[in-house]
A and B are shown apart, each in its own frame.
Chain A
């Protein structure tokens, strides 16, 4: 019976065809047999796909990883997290500062201020010994004539429907005479130093009204908003730090076009162009102007003192010739877009974002959405080509599948979960590296609430928790204690600060000192109220949930009643964190390499939707934070950062918990390769930098056919 036979034969044949394919697939042990290219191919797994491969537009991890291989910045960080020149060979930071001639003011001896007199007195003062330090750094001093300039100011007002709208107003400013100082380094205390000459109230006694004229027809609301901006529009004292970058000569983009100063200026302008909606705008906002001095020199002038601004030049540089208006017009023509589409066409729509061309170590080859991104090494890279020829980022949305692919040899790297670390460390086939990131987890107390207003209470709460429990039970030992707001592997972190001890008895003593007594039920009580608060966090993060449980239990032991709850992320932010309507939260920060803590700790940042949501307020800390971001000398910055760290550790607005370690597992066959001029190769074991980053030497990595013994 044919049908009967067919019904049996078809499935059998189908099964055989499918299953025999197994014998053609490479196994872990013989990855390279018949396929030697596998050894010069590095494959990495990523949970999510890249979104946009443009350094000024991307905001996600996968895109940044690819972009950092394809593009190169003026600067990057070396082994010690100091700045290192890449596309820039050298840079120099100087300063121009301006002092308005305040005609309404008087010198300390009663003489009325005038431009010429002010200049004369400063020049004369500089010859005195008390100004010798300033004098030695001053390269020029001159009086600028008065001038008039017009500018457009935007103010945000509320319309009838209470919706904020942006209005622009044209404003004319009659700038009076100014004294211009040129300094060979940045001095944030310049004007304070001049106080003996100009008097204490020189700056405060300046009235802006006579110098600024606004159109008479604008509404009162706009007028008052404009007036608030006067000190910014016409500052009495102004610091303009300047950075001059010497650019590397002979560097080409992957298409062979030479890199020059125009590309740097273009990148800056593209970031600031509102049409491009770049998420990096705030990093470059302090810049006043970027000027091309010559084809390989760029001068950047800043509006104000802000030392972390230089870090923004790690921004990868775009090739101007592929993205300028001319190139955009060409692309629009080629793609035959409709008139409407043309009107809105911008860098975000360009094909460049899917086929990026940069000046980095690897050049882009192909991007298969949700599957992989393929890069190839750039042989003309100015520092010499990398050892790996091919680089793939595979998109594997699931962690377990990523691990499976790693075990099958189709991914070269696996980010092990804390509980897996021990297993991989013991396995002779792999090498593993643990490093601290820039993140930490904390319990933040709402400092505005009377319950937490006293630092002693916050200290007592911190002392009641055994933080080693978190490390042991939640992180399987894959984490380290922290004492303050800086990442542990940066120089801003002061390692001499000792963490709060775990001492429930001392904690209880502190509570008693503050008038809290244990009542009959065992809860701490004062004036008839027990010490009770809510601790909340976001759902979907099991570790934070467990942090809550451990803390709750620890506090219960000393009589503190803590109720825990968790909320969906959006609700958690909207209803609690942004409004400040919470008692305590478990959260984490992922920090940056710069020491600027303004957004998280300055008291001016404690409003709704701002990042100092715990409402930390300490005038000394505010002062230190501002001084740190205005200080350009690294050693002094470090000193100030250590002071700030100590201050915050003392105040305990957070109970600082731990910083997690992340562990990377690699095939042991991947080694560091060094080749001498004759092409002889020596192999070495991969090692991390002092800051725990083994990928720093990625360009020297390669896979061997055998497992080496080191």
Chain B
């Protein structure tokens, strides 16, 4: 087990270096310049642009720019082109903002997907099963941003309350309990919107997984023993059905970074996804590359975690 982990970690570190080099080249291949040196800005004289380019090392060969990036990232002095702020604290601050949204959305996905999926599987072919399948596919097909806009319009028009941002503006003077509830309210719509697709997809998985398990011999055996139907389903079937989902936990990690770019944009949520998106628009290379790097780290860590979890929960799997 230990050997497996060590080998995997080493492999992944190598992969990480390759990924970061590729990301670096791809970003520099993309057309466009950092907004600070945009030649279309009439206020900037060519000499000024040349000076900024030199300060950002933009005219150095690509491999040198990569070395500068790694060096600055390692020393913690990497700065955003856009506002000269250190990149790592900036990303950390945004990460803390994205976290509640991510947790809330994940909770919604996992708590709603299981009951709906299991219920569909048990009553396969019933009206409930068919209608939930229909709704699930409808939600998968409808673009999330479209639903979000409709939702925002509806909530504002009908209830007249704010839904955008992390809190209502101008509420700073109110009592703590009002402020807390206000924060929760602002979580509701964006996390619901980003959870919808997850619920729809995951509940389909749960359904098919349960159907497969229910058809297994040991479920028939359990029923034949005369166990109660609930015990059969929730103890014997569900436990085995859960196995593949355990591994999905590991894959949740990278969602922390890119999971909600669209929703953060629509709901003016100052999160990590939006930071990355705006960095791309401004060609803020240090921020893009660092976020990309962290995303790669999380993805690789997530897959490693999945591998390990799988081995832990399913003794049939042996890691070589």
- Give residues in A with beta carbon < 8 Å to B: 1, 3-4, 7-8, 10-11, 14, 17-29, 31, 34-38, 41, 43, 49, 51-52, 59, 166, 274, 277, 279-282, 337-338, 340-341, 344, 348-349, 353-354, 368-372, 390, 392, 394-398, 400-401, 404-405, 407-411, 569-570, 573-574, 599, 609, 611
Contacts and interface: CB of A to CB of B under 8 A. Distances in A.
B141 interface: no
Given A274-B51, A282-B43, A8 B170 contact: no
B187 A38 contact: no
B166 A338 contact: no
Interface stretch (B128-136, B173-181, B300-308, B309-317): B173-181
Nearest to A41: B170
A59 B184 contact: no
B173 A24 contact: no
Interface in B37-55: 39-45, 47-48, 51-52, 55
Given A21-B184, A348-B84, A573-B39, A35 B164 contact: no
A59 B42 contact: no
A11 B112 contact: yes
Nearest to B228: A1
A171 to B, nearest CB: 20
Interface in B261-295: 265-268, 270, 274-275, 278
A396 B164 contact: yes
A538 to B, nearest CB: 10
A281 B234 CA distance: 73
Nearest to B82: A51
A623 to B, nearest CB: 24
21 contacts: A4-B230, A11-B112, A18-B184, A25-B168, A26-B171, A35-B170, A35-B174, A38-B170, A340-B77, A349-B84, A369-B93, A370-B274, A397-B265, A398-B268, A400-B153, A401-B266, A404-B162, A410-B168, A570-B32, A570-B40, A599-B42
Interface string B124-163: 0000000000000000000000000100110011011111
A396 B157 CA distance: 19
B149 A11 contact: no
Contacts of A277: 48, 51-52, 55
Nearest to A48: B278
- Nearest first, the 7 A-B pairs at minimum CB distance are A24-B181, A21-B185, A410-B162, A408-B162, A21-B184, A37-B173, A370-B270
Contacts of B118: 7
Contacts of A348: 84
B278 A27 contact: no
B217 interface: no
Contacts of A38: 170, 173
Given A368-B270, A395-B268, A26 B156 contact: no
Contacts of B166: 371
Contacts of B104: 18
Contacts of B40: 569-570, 573
B286 to A, nearest CB: 14
Contacts of B163: 404, 408
A72 B192 CA distance: 45
A59 B84 contact: no
Contacts of A338: 75, 77
Nearest to B182: A25
**Interface size of B as a range:** 35 or more
Nearest to A370: B270
Given A370-B274, A395-B270, A52 B162 contact: no
A371 B168 CA distance: 12
B48 A279 contact: yes
B226 to A, nearest CB: 16
A43 B170 contact: yes
Contacts of A368: 270
Given A18-B184, A24-B182, A395-B270, A34 B174 contact: yes
Given A404-B156, A404-B162, A407-B157, 4 more contacts: A18-B192, A27-B159, A29-B160, A400-B152
Contacts of B265: 397-398
A24 to B, nearest CB: 3
A279 B170 contact: no
Given A26-B161, A570-B31, A36 B173 contact: yes
B169 A394 contact: yes
A400 B156 CA distance: 12
B235 interface: yes
A28 B160 CA distance: 6
A18 B43 CA distance: 50
B69 interface: no
Contacts of A370: 94, 270, 274-275, 278
Nearest to A410: B162
A27 B170 CA distance: 12
B259 interface: no
A279 B174 contact: no
Contacts of B152: 400-401, 404
Contact of B268 (A18, A28, A41, A394): A394
B90 to A, nearest CB: 7
B172 to A, nearest CB: 7
A654 B40 CA distance: 21
Nearest to B178: A24
Given A59-B41, A277-B48, A408-B162, A25 B268 contact: no
Given A24-B177, A34-B178, A369-B90, A398 B160 contact: no
Contacts of B153: 400, 404
B240 interface: no
Interface in B188-234: 188, 192, 228, 230-231, 233-234
B257 to A, nearest CB: 16
Nearest to B90: A369
Q: By CB atoms of chain A within 10 A, which of B52, B178, B233, B238 has the most? A: B178
Given A59-B43, A348-B84, A35 B173 contact: yes
A626 to B, nearest CB: 20
Contacts of A411: 169
Contact of B161 (A41, A392, A408): A408
Q: By CB atoms of chain B within 10 A, which of A49, A340, A405 has the most? A: A405
Contacts of A574: 39
Contact of A1 (B39, B43, B230): B230
B59 to A, nearest CB: 10
A279 B231 CA distance: 73
A18 B112 CA distance: 14
Given A14-B108, A51-B83, A611 B51 contact: no
Contacts of B93: 369
A37 B172 contact: yes
B99 interface: no
B11 interface: no
A11 B188 CA distance: 14
B84 A353 contact: yes
Contacts of B79: 349
A396 B165 contact: yes
B185 A398 contact: no
Contacts of B178: 24, 34
A280 B42 CA distance: 11
A344 B160 contact: no
A694 to B, nearest CB: 22
